[in-house]
Amino acid sequence: MFQISSPPVFYGRFKNQHGFTLLELIIVCLLISVSLAFSVPNLRQALVVDQLAASSRKVIALIREVRALATQEQRPYLIHFDLDQKRIWYQQDLANSKEEIEQVSPPPGIQVPPSVRLQDIQTGTADKKTSGKVSLWINKQGYMDQTILHLADDQDNIISLVLSPFFSTIKAYDTYINLE
């Protein structure tokens, strides 16, 4: 009833198996290494070395953080831009408040790298400022004046950050944009 069969015998063990030869594998590895040799410097330039793009991302993150903080705490905030010292920081607006906050540590903010400069700031209520300090007021709902911040680097590449007054969107352009 039951038949026990022996396993099939293969004549030439690798006869029907297909694979890659050593030469094919070496050529594929060579092509991958050549493509990586060309792409890694460009990738490093784009992600690590591009201080202008990195600075603009930090500024955008700081502004979004302050707007979220203002709506969360229901208190107005000020973002200060020191165009000469290349520093941006924020603090709570105490002009309408009776309470005072003691500032033991330096206010939170960012320092722009030496190769990047804060070129100018244009707001809807004031003229374009190219030097000195500029303060941007954010009310307790997170609203602010329409503002354009221009960042530039040593090679005169420019990024314009357009801050929307009512929406939390910040648009970045790689050209000089005027406030109209």
Say if 88 falls within a structural domain. yes
DSSP 47: I
| pLDDT tens, residue by residue, 13-28 | 556 667 788 999 999 9
Say if 3 falls within a structural domain. no
Domain count for the chain, please give it: 1
Cα 116 from chain centre: 14
Residue 70 tokens read as 């203002």
The pLDDT assigned to 156 comes to 84
Say whether pLDDT at 104 is over 50: no
Please give the full DSSP string across 48-111, using - where no structure is assigned: II-HHHHHHHHHHHHHHHHHHHHHHHT--EEEEEETTTTEEEEEE--SS-S------SPPSEEE
Task: Give me the CATH number covering residue 38.
Answer: 3.55.40.10
Boundaries of domain holding 151: 21-95+109-180
Tell me the longest C-alpha to C-alpha distance in the chain: 101
